[in-house]
Structure 1
């Protein structure tokens, strides 16, 4: 009888222990915070930092369950975050400034700068009469996808570069036909991100020495580029999740800088139609031109120079008709960033 009771007690204890462990496991799983994130564009080389943070478990280590979706342009991602359709996202900070200037009540702000130097460019062909001088665009036909962030900067670029637009034709084109139209000579130049359009043109068979890149930042357009944004209601409810997300992302981008091939492997596991050599080159271009700049090397990835952002807003007031309803502090919130030493890139 005693043995039977003892066995029963042991069995009961085992069941209760298993139940407790199961409950603890369920509690740990439930403790993870879901974060829905939208990119600005497709899964291509420059997205490597985001995807490595998933694949290497950096988000998971911060208690986050992150899903990342592709986007439809650097401006289109902004309303996705503002409406709460996505908790966080990646988009053009200049378009965000315009968005908030039109309606300061929108629940979205930037929290981490990624493109310290914007990749906004006009890309043309020598065969079509385009040179590195922006004034060579005068009298030409330019292809522009309306949601493209580079095209969004055209009004300010023509001002700082002193371009006469009276005889320039702008033709609305879709993203899929942008580079093919330039390759075919249907337009003389196109708007786009330098690291995307140049490589897409090479894939179209255009010789590298026939491709001309007019990088707007090299001709007076001293702006920032794409940044990580957050829905303010989500951030208020989940401040530690936002901090953990940015901490993990800094690690992901450091890895993408130190090992671009591994970064591209992460991208290609989600987009198998890509060519690895092209995406490695695209990522290395983005790293050198836009992400791992001299300023970032000195000050760390993800932060901003508030004076530069303030000057950017003043510049956009003149060119984009801003009403002056938004300040640098309202556009960019640095309080969620990890310490500088955790944001240094190799």
Structure 2
């Protein structure tokens, strides 16, 4: 009788222990198809950094950095890599449902106007009298009127035409449009894949250089996850931060994880994209001052005002509705050193 009772008790303890030891399941969406700029998430997965935090993270490809927000709001995903400006839009009308940015990765905005150097467009004033192509609903297209106003351009002299995203670079190459309203980290490499030289033959007017002081992509999580399992959120941030610091010093380490996740990626091109993200979107004086992952509240407030104007939102969400630094490691643990290799 004693042995049976002991066996039952021991069995119950094993079951309970097994239940307690189970990892928290996290469904994570990337911003798009697998790219080199996703390396931190894939390295954290491949090296077991998520597991070490008690997390069972499943990573899926995405449908656009703005779509990350809607995927999380639908309840299909717990976290993802996406655009903070899409959070601002949704937080304006559905603050109780909109996700929260918890690790701001891209400190600089990728929104840009790309033109051929041979077009004669040497300054933004030269955009007047020209036709710009863009995909309807994208931030670069929607925020163009704010860009125009802030820089004293004549909106009546700048024509825009809507086109599918996959047609923007081909039409620019052919000369069917004078410029394209795009994401630099996307368009630059679309030109590379079209056997163009985006440095030698093209010029880029990045919004961030012309008064559009916006943040962009990073890791966001659902409000439900924050409320029900803040420990998991902190674990996600620690794991990704650890991977980011390692990739800053060794991009090949990140690309090994990317290739393991998706063996169809073009490794040389995607390594260039990863390095491009550091050179143009991540490393900045602000990032060096406050550490990777954080923001400046006053700058975010200005960014929110730009998005409110561009998207004609009725309510400006508070910074706290958009971003939380509650889960960030100390600044000393977020000091990123970038060495291109």
Shifted more, 239-248 versus 276-285: the winner is: 276-285
User: What is the rounded CA distance, in whole Å, between the counterparts of 2:310 and 2:92 in structure 1?
Assistant: 14
Q: 5+ residue gaps in structure 1?
A: 1-8
User: What is the rounded CA distance, in whole Å, between the counterparts of 2:164 and 2:116 in structure 1?
Assistant: 19
Does residue 175 of structure 2 align to residue 209 of structure 1? Answer: no
User: What is the rounded CA distance, in whole Å, between the counterparts of 1:212 and 1:105 in structure 2?
Assistant: 41
Contact 1:145–1:174 (8 Å) recurs in 2:
yes
Q: 1:75 aligned to 66, 86, 109, which one? A: 66
Contact 1:87–1:231 (8 Å) recurs in 2:
yes
Shift of 1:292: 2.5
SS of residue matched to 1:153: helix
Q: Which residue of 2 aligns with 1:143?
A: 133
- Distance 1:55-1:35 versus aligned 2 partners, 3 A rule: same
Q: 5+ residue gaps in structure 2?
A: none
Shift of 1:78: 1.1
Offset from partner CA, 1:180-223 (integer Å, 9 cap, x none): 22223232222222122112212212233111111110111111
Shift of 1:335: 1.0
User: What is the rounded CA distance, in whole Å, between the counterparts of 2:14 and 2:176 in structure 1?
Assistant: 64
Q: 1:198 aligned to 185, 188, 193, which one? A: 188
User: What is the rounded CA distance, in whole Å, between the counterparts of 2:214 and 2:115 in structure 1?
Assistant: 22
How many residues align? The count is 334
Alignment of 1:180-259 (within 5 A): 180-207=170-197, 208-259=199-250
Contact 1:130–1:189 (8 Å) recurs in 2:
no
Contact 1:112–1:229 (8 Å) recurs in 2:
yes
SS of residue matched to 1:209: coil
Q: TM-score, normalised by structure 1?
A: 0.87
Q: 2:144 aligned to 154, 163, 167, which one? A: 154
- Distance 1:124-1:304 versus aligned 2 partners, 3 A rule: same
Does residue 164 of structure 2 align to residue 164 of structure 1? Answer: no
Does residue 40 of structure 2 align to residue 49 of structure 1? Answer: yes
Shift of 1:43: 1.0
Q: TM-score, normalised by structure 2?
A: 0.88
Contact 1:92–1:149 (8 Å) recurs in 2:
no
Q: 2:331 aligned to 332, 340, 344, which one? A: 340
User: What is the rounded CA distance, in whole Å, between the counterparts of 1:129 and 1:73 in structure 2?
Assistant: 32
SS of residue matched to 2:40: helix
